[in-house]
Amino acid sequence: MPDYKFCFPFAAVLGQEKAKEALLLATVNPRVGGVLLSGEKGTAKTTLARGLAQLVPEAPYIEVPLNTTEDRLIGGIDFSASIVRGEPVLFSGLLSLADGGFLYVDEVNLLSNALINPILSVCASGINIVEREGLTASQPARFVLIGSMNPEEGRLRPQLLDRFGLYVNIGSESDVATRRQIIERRLAYEDDPLEFCRAWQNETKRLREKIIRARQSLNKIIMPDSCLKWASQLSTSAHAAGHRAEIVLCQTALAIAAWNEQPQVCMDDISLAARYVLPHRMKETLEAKDIATAEAAAGEGSPKEAPDFGSAEMDEKNEPDRVDPTLDGKLDDELWQDIVELDQQLKLNLSSFGKVKSPGEGKRLKTASNSRRGRYVRYRLAEGDAADLAMDATLRSAIRHGSDDPNLKIQVKPTDLRWKIREQRTGVSIFFLVDASGSMGAKQRMGATKGAILSLLNEAYQMRDSVGIIAFRKDRADVLLPLTRSIDRAEKQLRSLKTGGTTPLSLGLKKAHDLILAERRRHRDAIHCLVLISDGRANYSQSEQDPFQEAINIAKRFYHEKIYSLVLDTESSYIRLALAKDIAEALGAQYIKLDDITSSSIASKVKSFLTNVYD
């Protein structure tokens, strides 16, 4: 395991006081349940976590790499020892090695479900159960779980998010003098890490001794009934689900009192603890700005009146420059509308594409591979011709029954042979085809459309898919955004998109069709799909053909090319022609009326998206 004895000292980190306080509280009282540090890259999240190894050198500090295996995390059979002894010998996984210390997961929001599930199980029970090839062992695994993440790279599963007792939203230092000091300290550390650590050893020793004193006094701290009531009141005001919030609030307040060398908890301790405990428990679909709002509300609360976590406004300086979304303004003689966010995030359900045997580069889909390429995920019994030998599974099977030959420790029999099953990721390229004609300017249609696209873009970004945006209006179709994984670029293009002019739907479909075919030639194994947002009212054609019929004819090409499609119908007039529905039929696409989408219906409607397309 790596030695963090001479990592950048915890005490030397400048700023990030809230993050340091949360980590120290979790160190004093492990019953707090761990800490989640969320913020942009380069804000000392990992540096602070590793600094705990210096503050509590007697406690193990274990890091979980994103590419670790389930065996390495949980534990498994030690082949070297098993071969020598001729019987199964288990090795301890990362979870049990962290017992009594810290388990740190960087980019925890990108951790695969195969690794998240065992972590959740161990966090709940404090016991790591290893089951391999008929062998079962249980090991103690009580640790302080520390995670860090960049919220721009995707959200964390609610089940895992709730396991973190404390949450801290980290940002960059804005003061120029402070930033200069940060650079100076970092350069000094890189020039001579040993000397730099020696320069900070007195401060490190002071923190270490204070942690020891706080731990020793923790069980002596008194929790008054008034504080229990205040904790319950705060949790209720925050609409926190379940009762874990109150429990963690009280445990955190105990740690605060112990750290401050107080004989009992006071209400201010509960209020301070709420800044770390409640923000990420307010609701399941919490955004970063909501968390900042919750932190501000918790800080302003008083024992006389519980803070209103749901009504506090964001500070204007944290909001991007924008025009009032309730006002439609004409910019350069064209209508402009800001993004109107949907109340629930749209999701693309592409599970039916699992039949595709392709490598790709995305994160969304995992497909079984018949080749020797891809990640080894499990094994199968050996049948038929010799395939990709799963050496680990074969040896585990052979170790169980030993050897019939006294001269051999292990004897591999034909019944022990196992073949590897590999898994490859299938990339997905999503083209958003947006109707930006004049009809989209009425009744906030474009604002709602932008919100729908942005929601889909966020989902695509989290899944590491590539997205592109094509807009059509007047007499042309333009590629606003080539295929990219940058959500920031996409949002900027969407925000500036205006409406006006005729509806050249056929031009938009043709542009999208040409781009998708070009992408197919470059990436034959990737999946390409189209998301059309329009009311379907085509009224412009480059030929003498009827504009709508021209669009229908081009749409049929998507069907014949087996391009997966979704149509979001934005029609909202009193007399509905349902032309977008006809376009969807020609495309062979899933059809959804955008104005029908609500929080209650969206999940069931989008769940079926692309599930049964082109069976």
Comparing CA positions, the residue from 434, 182, 451, 489 lying closest to residue 341 is: 451
Query: What's the distance, CA 540 to chain centroid?
Result: 42
Sign of CA dihedral 311, 315, 321, 323: positive
The 3-state secondary structure of 185-198, one letter per residue: HHHHHHHCHHHHHH
CA Rg, the chain, in Å? Answer: 29
Tell me the C-alpha distance between 428 and 358, whole Å.
11
**Catalytic status, residue 244:** yes
Q: Are 543 and 508 in contact (CB under 8 A)?
A: no
Tell me the C-alpha distance between 161 and 241, whole Å.
13
Sign of CA dihedral 391, 396, 399, 400: negative
Tell me the C-alpha distance between 553 and 280, whole Å.
50
Q: One of 132, 244, 495, 557 is an active-site residue; which one?
A: 244
The first and second tokens of residue 352, run together, are 């039916």
40: phi then psi, degrees, rounded to nearest 5: -65, 165
537: phi then psi, degrees, rounded to nearest 5: -85, 75
Strand partners, 147: 36, 105
Q: What is the H or E stretch that residue 543 is in?
A: none
Tell me the C-alpha distance between 260 and 217, whole Å.
11
- Using a CB cutoff of 8 Å and minimum separation of 24, what contacts does 556-560 make? 556/586, 556/587, 557/513, 558/509, 558/513, 558/530, 558/586, 558/587, 558/588, 558/589, 559/586, 559/587, 559/588
Tell me the C-alpha distance between 310 and 291, whole Å.
10
Tell me the C-alpha distance between 59 and 97, whole Å.
10
Sign of CA dihedral 7, 11, 14, 18: positive
Q: Are 82 and 126 in contact (CB under 8 A)?
A: no
Taking phi first (over 0 means left), then psi (-120 to 50 degrees means alpha), and beta for anything else, what does residue 318 get? alpha
Instruction: Give the angle subtended at the CA of 423 by the CAs of 418 and 426, to the nearest 5°.
Output: 165
Q: Which residues participate in catalysis according to the annotation?
A: 244
